[in-house]
Amino acid sequence: MKKYSSNTSSIKFQSYEPNDTKIHAFDVVIVGSGPVGLTLALEMKKQNIKAIIITNNNFIPDGSKAICISRESMETFQSLGVADKISSIGLGWVNGKSFYKNEKVYELKMPDNDNEKYKPMTNLQQSILEEILIKKCLEQKIEIRWNNQITDILKNDNNVQLEVKSLKNKYKITSKFLLAADGAKSKIREKLGLKLEGESYSGNYLIADIKIKLDYPTERLAFFYPSSNPEGTALMHKQPFNIWRIDYSLENQLEKKTSSQDVKNMIQDHLNSLSIKKKWGLVWWSQYKAHCLSLKNFVHNRIIFCGDAAHLVPIFGVKGLNSGIADAHNIGWKLPYILNKKKPLSFLKTYDSERKKAIANIFNESKKSTLFMSPPTNGYKLMQNAVLSLSIKNSFCRSLINPRQSKAEKYDFKYKKISYIDKSNFKIGQRLKNIKLSKGFLFDFIPNSYFILNGQNISIDYTIYSINIRNNDYGNFIYLVRPDKYIVYIWNKLNITELDKIVYNEIGFCNHGKNSKNRKIL
């Protein structure tokens, strides 16, 4: 299949061979050079932790796989210094349309306004995203051991010992922690005897990328019962470089459509149904099934599972890649805090509980979309037809057509909500918004550590970073914020004893006193 996207000529995918027989020791070993492993490596680097990546690949897989990057993932990429590059190639979008046969039945409008730095979604081929992340890792001198695969876990107690196979040798390494981002077929999961649990759905989908120049806007197009697939659905997404993603539910045709010619015929039928007469070429295609599968626990002593190695989510709502990036952003500051002895080892439990709950919420949402997109029984099919046909003229049932696109999850923090903070636009456990300021956006100014966001005209002498802000969104409140932008606590009237207590709980020290050099005024 023709390569259409990433420009990897400047990347040396040099296979690594060990040059001695010593067992090398690391603080953090990351397994996998998919988007999650690469993001984890950049997160570690951001916190000055030396991590290496071990990967059995020595190229960027061609198929574009994920194409929709959420605003929250873009904000994570902003903190890693790659968002500008992604934005310069990616196509931002806000809206979508759903059709039932030939009638429009739903208009998707994701939350957006001129004060947002990123669109709710940015479309970019996963292969190009991986290329950008690899180049950033190499620029930051992160070692990537290409063509090396983890073959065994020899020890997982007060450190992890791994057996690694390079092209010519087998060798051992030890690491204080292992971040397992080795994807859906994780070897590490298998070696620990762990299994993903949950549901797999019967629907079979065909996913194809085609090259065609169409002057349509970037939006999500969903067709229910189109003439090209009268028993199922078709989705269309625009990608950079005149590539379009077409996604079919194959319903009862199941395994039949397996030759490139079948795929081409189906796509031609679909383009005909839209009266598109332009020339096009098939770039890549694959088949997949939807799953809501997850590990029971993401943390196993010093081995921490992230991304597809920890959970598989249906692609409806585009949460596969995005939930893995959220995992990386969550563990990305917690592990360095543990390594730097600012947090105890037991703090890993918060990664487990926060991300497991987020994944459970995603399952809850995407399960609805999966059942609606591909009804597994006659009953669901009846409901889907009723909703779609009623939606032509009635708005009350249209929300069932909503694809429930990816959004930032809210976490449950231990601090009890107190009544007077209810007036804030934000809640404890919620993520900050990247609001527009007179110069730049809020996230351009936040540190890689806990900080205070001070919406009041008072000076707080505290040794943790503090940002004074005058803005309607944040109002007249004081917020204590985690390094991943989640709100730990909100005050409407600062109680310094309480701040001390919470900061002590969070960081292990309370230390107020003049520290104006850290204070930014926005």
Is the Cβ–Cβ distance between 146 and 13 less than 8 Å?
yes
**Cβ 132 to ligand FAD, closest distance in Å?**
14
Q: How far is the CB of 496 from ligand FAD (least distance, A)?
A: 43
Minimum distance of ligand FAD from residue 102's CB (angstroms): 26
Q: What's the Rg (C-alpha) of the chain?
A: 24
Q: Check residue 402 and give left, alpha or beta (phi > 0: left; psi -120 to 50: alpha).
A: beta
Binding flag, residue 359, ligand FAD (CB under 6 A): no
Q: DSSP letter at 445?
A: T
Question: Which of 44, 82, 150, 293: binder of ligand FAD (CB under 6 A)?
Answer: 150
124, 181, 221, 371: residue in contact with ligand FAD (rule CB under 6 A): 181
Q: 322, 366, 384, 405: which one contacts ligand FAD (CB under 6 A)?
A: 322
Nearer to ligand FAD, 271 or 312 (CB): 312
Among 92, 320, 332, 483, the residue binding ligand FAD under the rule CB under 6 A is 320
> Which residues within the stretch 382-421 sit at the binding site for ligand FAD (CB under 6 A)?
none
Tell me: does residue 452 bind ligand FAD (CB under 6 A): no
Query: For the chain, first and last CA: distance in Å?
Result: 51
The rounded distance, in Å, linking the Cα atoms of 256 and 268 is 17
User: Closer to ligand FAD at the Cβ: 151 or 476?
Assistant: 151
Site string for ligand FAD, 264-303 (x = CB under 6 A): ----------------------x-x---------------
Q: Which two tokens stand for residue 41?
A: 């490596």
Lookup: tokens for 446 = 């936040």
90, 240, 307, 429: which one binds ligand FAD (CB under 6 A): 307
User: Can you read off the two tokens belonging to residue 30?
Assistant: 């990351």
Residue, CB closest to ligand FAD: 34
Q: How far is CA 485 from CA 68, 132, 234, 349, in A?
A: 22, 24, 37, 19
| Cα 468–chain centre separation | 30
Instruction: Name the one range near ligand FAD by CB under 6 A: 3-11, 289-297, 305-313, 411-419.
Output: 305-313
Residue 319 touching ligand FAD (CB under 6 A)? yes
| DSSP result, 249-263 | E-GGGGGG--SHHHH
Query: Nearer to ligand FAD by C-beta: 77 or 477?
Result: 77
Instruction: Tell me the closest approach of the beta carbon of residue 174 to ligand FAD, in angstroms.
Output: 16
3-state DSSP assignment of residue 481: strand
The DSSP secondary structure of 282-339, one letter per residue, reads EEEEEEEEEEEEE-S-SEETTEEE-GGGTEE--TTTT-HHHHHHHHHHHHHHHHHHHH
Footprint of ligand FAD on 6-65 (CB under 6 A): 31-37, 54-57, 65
Question: Both tokens of residue 232?
Answer: 């199922």
Nearer to ligand FAD, 228 or 322 (CB): 322
Q: Using CB under 6 A as the criterion, which residues of the chain lie in contact with ligand FAD when the complex forms?
A: 31-37, 54-57, 65-68, 126, 149-150, 181-184, 187, 207, 286, 288, 307-309, 315, 318-322, 324
